[in-house]
Structure 1
Amino acid sequence: MISNSSNKTILITPLNWGLGHATRCIPIIKALQENNYIPIIASDGKALELLRKEFPYLKTLELPSYQIEYSKNSSHLKWKMLFNSPKMIAAIWNEKKMISKWIDKYDIDGIISDNRLGCYSKKIPSIYITHQINVLTGKTTWITSKIHQNTIRKHLECWVPDVEKKPNLASELSHLENSNLKLKYIGPLSRMIKKELPIKYDLMVILSGPEPQRTLLEDKLKEELKRYKGEVLFIKGIIEKEQLKEKIKNITYYNFMNSRQLEQVFNESEIIVCRSGYTTIMDLVKLGKKAFFIPTPGQYEQIYLAQKLKKEGLAPYAIQDEFKIENLFELNKYKGLEIINNKIDWENLFSIFE
């Protein structure tokens, strides 16, 4: 691939909220390398750990944690986040100061921020990535959306990983009827490639998202799977130093998998049980898989996406506390995620750094 880049350095900064923001940055990082740019990765927590495993040879930097915490009771989530907002604001302020220093220290020529609110600069081209032009928070959606849109305006461009026209993936999340924002719809972002492989697993479970809800769902599914007779692959979504594998009867457990392994087992699995996170949906669209969704309790975005896909006849879903393994029979009534084969023009996108 030909590029005008003179080995310019691009800082890429995904939000550490679950693993979705980090994983959807993987194809961007690879595209930067293919176009002769030098990526530097900056994040915190599990997101940074995951990207260090994917790109052990790249320079990584640590940003302050937003200290996003979930509650066991989903109805308390909004209030808990409001209570923690001073810590988040302090982290955003600190990361903004760090970015200012790093630009000179590491000779950074551009920034790509996936939902990190303080990672931008007026000195160099700063790009924002989000599928949430509107941030759904129930009755406070109007104010959270306005705040987020104000952040988007501080950037040179906003890359939206969705299709601009209908049918699209995120609907009102990623689209505005009238907008003066500099939005560029780049199509779904996924690290996956569809392959025609023999089916090895009747069911693949892949967990993600913040604690304690990840553990609560793991415990719930382990209990329900006692009544499932098929071959199961269960990926816990716990990023640890070493990969661990355990086989108990018909279920094979992994703590985590890297992108290459995930691509393999996704293609080898008949149906998927997972959260209705947007990054996961983009992966499933790339693979054209049948999926059953269990939205994270209290996360309006995931509930909205699950309801949208059910209404369109593509995939069923269940509330976490009400899920039963017998719900999987509902999949016979749904078409499954339809493949969107979009080719991203990376050379054109990256020309903003020239």
Structure 2
Amino acid sequence: MIKNILVAPLNWGLGHATRCIPIIRELENNGFTPIIASDGNALELLKKEFPHLNSLELPSYNIQYAKKSKNFKWQLIKNSPKTIKAILSEKKIVEKWILELNLSGIISDNRLGVHSKKIPSVILTHQLNVLSGKTTWISSKMHQFFIKKFAECWIPDVDNYPNLSGKLGHLRNTKMNLKHIGVLSRLEKKELPIKYKLMIILSGPEPQRTLLEEKLIHELENYKEDIVFIKGVVENNQTIEKIKNIIFYNFMQTKQLEKTFNESELVICRSGYTTIMDLARLEKKAFFIPTPGQYEQEYLAKKHKREGLVPYSKQNDFKLDDILAVDLYAGLRKIKSETNWKELFILFESE
């Protein structure tokens, strides 16, 4: 009997979509038929990775960043009516899809309306606590309210120390049905000759993605070593442009990205959680530039610097000489974790 599982990542940067790639692969390996649902760049990326799978569009949360970090929280509050409307809308759509697509289960990566009491529904998140400055208690309780609507919550991390998510993905006391499923990454470490001194990989909502791209290009003007620069803009076709010692790509799919990571000595990137999982799997040295005003990325950057793993700089303060500090840090290490997919997928086996 075919068991269709809806996999629906949030379109906020590319991290939610890319960490669903190993889940989609494992669903197929275990005899399930994944159906992809998202919007924007996240949907386009997964359609390119899995052209043979059915893909559907969900309403956009219309997440936008402010140009100034101090306005980040207020921009999200301003956008919240649109976000709430999208959550209510996607809930209605999912109820319709359950019948039309004969769904046996749902895996939602931070899409808060993609769940149902009619079939087993899982939320994938590393944010049990949602940092928002002075309002962290409120934002965390609100997120936990939505998490409780799902049958299970899968956290892509280990439940012990050392771990990658810190206080984001760990609660001391809770009655929620939480499962730490291990570190998720679509990438594998390979021993390849180093081709690039620097690898720069960007993602995330505008306008901050473009602002960082422009700043980095300016800082790299006098850098002489070979650089690969992945802009994180998913378009219909891949574009490649070489300017002096820098080769630019608009985006890369998994196989090419894995090869490029392994051929690069140092990675400059955001401190997004999915990127951190990838770097840990690859055991790479990195330099973080957290998205201005995004408390989660700022916390993760500080955490990994404090542990002696990765240095970081604020976006406005970044100078190319800052990367010299990388030699003083250990780099991200592989976290020992095993994901028991058969055990996790038992949830979807009930008739």
Aligned partner of residue 155 in structure 1, secondary structure: coil
- Percent identity, please: 62
In the TM superposition, 1:324-343 aligns within 5 A as 324-343=319-338
Of the structure 1 ranges 14-23 and 71-80, higher mean CA displacement relative to structure 2 is found in: 71-80
Separation (CA, whole Å) in 2 of partners of 1:263 and 1:342: 20
Alignment-mate amino acid for residue 283 of structure 2: G
Offset at residue 343 of structure 1 (A): 2.5
Structure 1 position 86, deviation (Å): 0.8
What is the correspondence of 1:167-206 to structure 2 with a 5 Å cutoff?
167-206=162-201
Tell me the equivalent position of 1:323. 318
**1:117-151 CA-partner distances (Å, limit 9, x unpaired):** 00000000000100000000000100110010011
Q: Which residue of 2 aligns with 1:242?
A: 237
Partner of 2:281: 286
Equivalent residue, structure 2, for 1:99:
94
Q: Unaligned regions of 5+ residues in structure 2, if any?
A: none
Deviations 1:157-182 (A, max 9, x none): 10000110111111110111111110
Indicate whether 1:263 and 2:263 are aligned.
no
Alignment match, 1:3: none
Q: Which amino acid aligns with 1:217?
A: L
Query: Counterparts of 1:198-237 in structure 2 under 5 Å?
Result: 198-237=193-232
Q: Residue 83 of structure 2: SS of its match in structure 1? A: helix
8 Å CA contact 2:18, 2:186 repeated in 1: yes
Assess if the C-alpha contact under 8 Å between 1:127 and 1:157 holds in 2.
yes
Whole-Å Cα distance in 1 between the matches of residues 332 and 79 of structure 2?
A: 36
CA distance in 2, matches of 1:241, 1:162: 33
Letter in 1 for 2:5: I
In 1, distance between residues paired with 2:306 and 2:336?
23
What CA distance in whole angstroms lies between the structure 1 residues aligned with 2:239 and 2:295? 33
TM-score (norm: length of structure 2): 0.99
Deviation of 1:228 (Å): 1.3
**Conserved in 1, the CA contact under 8 Å of 2:163 and 2:335?**
no
User: Which residue of structure 2 aligns with residue 307 of structure 1?
Assistant: 302
Alpha-carbon distance in 1 for matches of 2:6, 2:31: 14
TM-score by structure 1 length?
0.98
Contact preservation (8 Å) 1:295, 1:320: yes
Which stretches in structure 1 are left out of the alignment for 5+ residues? 1-5
